[in-house]
Amino acid sequence: MSPTPHLLIPLAASHAEGCQQALQGLALPQLDRLLARLSPAGLDAGSEADPTPPHERALARHLDLAGNAPPWAAWQRLQGGAEDALTQAWAFITPCQWQAGANHVLLGDPALLRLTEEDSRALLAILAPWFAEDGITLIYDQPTRWLACGAPFQGLVTASLERVQGRDVSPWLPDKQQARALHRLHSEMQMLLYTHPFNDARAARGLPPVNAFWVHGAGALAQAPASTDAPDMPTTLLEAALREDWRAWAEAWRALDAGPVAHLADHVARGGGARLTLCGERSAMAWHTAPRGLGQRIQSLFRPQRFTSVREQL
């Protein structure tokens, strides 16, 4: 039996002023049609201070990953078939630029560093010996994300990169008592990279310096998750929101409404089962196909669920 289709949409709404303006007059007829045929399946209420955003929590529930800070690095390692995914603690390390201001330090978009694979591997080779002194092994994964393995990541709660990007890093750093080695490495790497030839070469090419790193997706898997079927999770809304490009965000919503949302609404109209999860910056709301009584069906005709009535809860 094929799994029930699940459409999970990150950053379906935001309380940011630009998003609220973009929502004015945003018509999503296919989403309203879909919501009118589905039954509520729960609200995951949270806050913008949670280290894991609602869409990651929803994805973790779908994949049967326990906890509010899912060990995404270990999970990815497991997907690659590595046996050490269930015996070691893992984390993602993202090379980045911290931009110092008068009263804050902002984490810039790692994509703006324009790191190539060659650059990233060269940087990893520079930093790896320093991490190794604290029992951490670095493994290349992709230009803006490495895998890291070591005891310091056991039980470590880290904030998602998306939570921190464009914001002050201070409130999101791991607990100092729990992550002393990482806090020291942050200081050491900033001093090392400040005058390193690696950044001199980047400056000569007109590229911004890499002066820091971010740890995320840390932890260990207690056991292999039972579910392996990932939901359909388009990231176009999330990507536009991280850039604070709310015009592009609205256009992305229209494209989703005409594409994946319309397809799922047609599937439900033909009698198929479906799941829908809409996520904001604070909370996530879920719906599914379920038998409804006569009263519920009548109510849905006169008071159908619409996106305008639920988006403020996200």
Could you read off the pLDDT of 53-78 as tens digits, one per residue?
A: 999 999 999 998 866 689 999 999 99
Q: Residue for token digits 């820091």?
A: 212
- Asked which of 2-16, 83-97, 281-295 is least confident by mean pLDDT, the reply is 281-295
What are the pLDDT digits (tens) for 179-189? 999 999 999 99
Q: Which domain holds residue 133?
A: 72-219
DSSP annotation of 214 reads E
How far CA 83 is from CA of 77, 88, 211, 223, in Å, comes to 8, 9, 33, 12
Together in a domain, 233 and 187: no
- The continuous run of DSSP H or E covering 278 comes out as strand 275-279
Same domain, 91 and 210: yes
The answer as to whether 50 is a domain residue is: yes
Using CA atoms, how far apart are residues 314 and 312, in angstroms rounded to an integer? 6
Q: Are 260 and 169 part of one and the same domain?
A: no
Tell me, yes or no, whether 259 and 159 share the same domain.
no
> Where among 202, 219, 236 does a domain terminate?
219
The Cα–Cα gap between 284 and 43 comes to 6
Q: Do residue 213 and residue 274 come from a single domain?
A: no
Asked if residue 257 belongs to a domain, the reply is yes
On whether both 180 and 253 belong to a single domain, the answer is: no
Let me know if residue 279 belongs to a domain: yes
| Residue 42 is assigned to a structural domain of this protein | yes
180 and 87 in a common domain: yes
Cα dihedral 96, 100, 105, 111 sign: negative
C-beta of residue 285 within 8 angstroms of C-beta of residue 45: no
pLDDT digits (tens, 9 = 90+) for 21-63: 999 989 999 999 999 999 999 999 999 999 999 999 999 999 9
For residue 1, being part of any structural domain is answered with no
DSSP structure string for 55-90: HHHHHHHHTT--SSS--HHHHHHHHTT-GGGGTS-E
Which has more pLDDT, 112 or 67? 112
**Same domain for 273 and 249:** yes
136 and 198 in a single domain? The answer is yes
Tell me how many degrees the CA angle 163-223-54 measures, rounded to the nearest 5. 25
166 token code pair: 């464009």
DSSP reduced 3-state for 173: coil
Q: How far is CA 305 from CA 14, 252, 297, 300, in A?
A: 19, 22, 12, 7
Task: Give the number of domains in the chain.
Answer: 2
Same structural domain for residues 243 and 309? Answer: yes
Q: Work out the pLDDT band at 176, boundaries 50, 70, 90.
A: confident
Mean pLDDT calculated for residue range 117-139: 97
**What residues contact 68, with CB distance under 8 A and at least 6 apart?**
50, 51, 52, 57
165, 198, 219 - which closes a domain: 219
Are 93 and 215 in the same domain? Answer: yes
> Which pLDDT value is given to residue 291?
63
Q: Which of 198, 219, 240 is the last residue of a domain?
A: 219
Q: Which residues contact 271 (CB under 8 A, 6 or more apart)?
A: none
Whether 85 shows a pLDDT value over 70: the answer reads yes
Helices 180-194, 117-132: crossing angle, 10 deg rounding:
130
Residues in the chain: 314
Q: Is 91 helix (H, G, I), strand (E, B) or coil?
A: strand
